[in-house]
Amino acid sequence: MAIIKPFRALRPQAAMAKSVAARPYDVLNSKEAAEEAAGNPYSFYHVSKSEIDLPEGTDIHSAPVYAKAAENLQKLLSEGTLFQEASPLIISTNS
């Protein structure tokens, strides 16, 4: 049996959801992510595929990529694009 625990999710402000939305990181490569994020500083690709903000050829598993992802996530939080829920939530999808 699965154990489901509530947590305080990070979510985009409703007005920013379309700008933040990104496909899962493993369904596109770095070049495709860069193309989709072009001109959109709010795209979550700047977090999930942060190598798009570093020089071409940067090893996607290197420390600078992870540091850039943390920096970009913090920016989305500090500017209010993303926010953390005030309390843990469980959303029921029972029909």
- State what percent of residues in the chain have pLDDT above 70: 95
91 conformational bin, left if phi > 0, alpha if psi -120 to 50, beta if neither: beta
Task: Decide: 89 and 6 in contact? Cβ < 8 Å.
Answer: yes
Tell me the per-residue pLDDT of 48-79, one tens digit each, with 9 for 90 and over.
999 999 999 999 999 999 999 999 999 999 99
Task: Decide: 46 and 67 in contact? Cβ < 8 Å.
Answer: no
Angle (nearest 5°) at CA 65 between 39 and 14: 45
pTM: predicted TM-score of the whole model, two decimal places = 0.86
Give the pLDDT score at 1: 80
